[in-house]
Amino acid sequence: MVYARSLTALGLAAGYALDSAVGDPRRGHPVAAFGRVAGALERRMWADSRPRGAAYAVTCVGAAAGLGAVAQTFARKPFARFAVTAIATWAVLGGRGLAREGDVMAGLLEAEDLPAARVRLGHLCGRDATNLDTKEIARAATESIAENTSDAVVAPLVWGAVAGLPGLLGYRALNTLDAMVGHRSSRYERFGWAAARADDVANLVPARLAALAAACCAPLLGGSPRRAWRVWRRDAGQHPSPNAGQVEAAFAGALDIQLGGINTYGGVTEDRGTLGDGVTPEAADLRRSVRLSRLVGLAALAVAVAR
């Protein structure tokens, strides 16, 4: 058992290093392939029904986790176990891609290319950017960096450390389903309910670990751990999401900026509260959030490997 955990830890570290070095494949990404299959299945299974949506989520996530279990069972030799874990980790992580999008957006804001920045925001989140100004786009991008640091980096590492290949693939499948059908809309309010709630549960611990790591890493960016902790504990509950609010509040405190406010998604407007006491973020703060994201990812890797 200890030997298997060591191989898993080495595979997680190698996969993290691979993602940091080369990022996502330009073509044939496994997550994109899963999304296409899940989309085709959704068109066959959809009904305005929570039980039907739950069956859909169990089918998709179960298939992904089952594939991981089969691969883990047959990868008995040490190198095979290490290699398959490394490849799976690389496939499910999104740290480099997230950082790249943050840096590209910061560059557009620094160049004062507002039209291009509005278009580019769709690469990071689903907010309606039509009427957003430079500071609002910087805020939206910074919030997305924070939330996706947990979803695309910390959570996969946590689940990989806890459950190996089934944890890696199962979590990524669930998180992808949440992005596909978990948002509130007339079509998915009932059908996507199970995927959204399951994703919330799966991210309860990773989101709080990411928030704690952000607070601990604050001094490396000129921030205060005490302030980050205070803002995190005080403001996280104002956010409607039980997990995104944790990470966004911690990032706001660590970077001494203010996040949250009124956001519009698909024509639906919601108040996400006020997170932090600082100023509204600008391009320079967005770049700092990218650096904090990388630090949080490294901290999560250290925890996952040490488990």
Q: Which residue has the higher pLDDT, 276 or 261?
A: 276
Q: Using the predicted structure, report yes or no on whether residue 186 has a pLDDT greater than 80.
A: yes
Predicted pLDDT of residue 15 = 97
Residue 82 makes CB contacts below 8 A (sequence gap 6+) with 7, 10, 11, 14
pTM over 0.85: yes
Q: How far is CA 81 from CA 3, 13, 274, in A?
A: 11, 13, 46
Q: Using the predicted structure, report yes or no on whether residue 2 has a pLDDT greater than 70.
A: no
Share of the chain above pLDDT 70, in %: 97
* 24-62: pLDDT as tens digits: 877 778 899 999 999 999 999 999 999 999 999 999 999
Residue 80 makes CB contacts below 8 A (sequence gap 6+) with none
- Residue closest to 285 by CA, chosen among 254, 261, 250, 255: 255
Cα–chain center distance at 172: 10
Q: Which residue has the higher pLDDT, 264 or 271?
A: 271
Average pLDDT over every residue of 236-253: 95
Among all chains, which residue has been given the structure tokens 């309606």? Answer: 128
- Calpha distance 217→209 (Å, rounded): 12
Please provide the size of the chain in residues: 307
Sign, CA dihedral 45-48-52-53, equals positive
Predicted pLDDT of residue 63 = 97
Predicted pLDDT of residue 25 = 77
- Residue closest to 115 by CA, chosen among 103, 101, 132, 140: 132
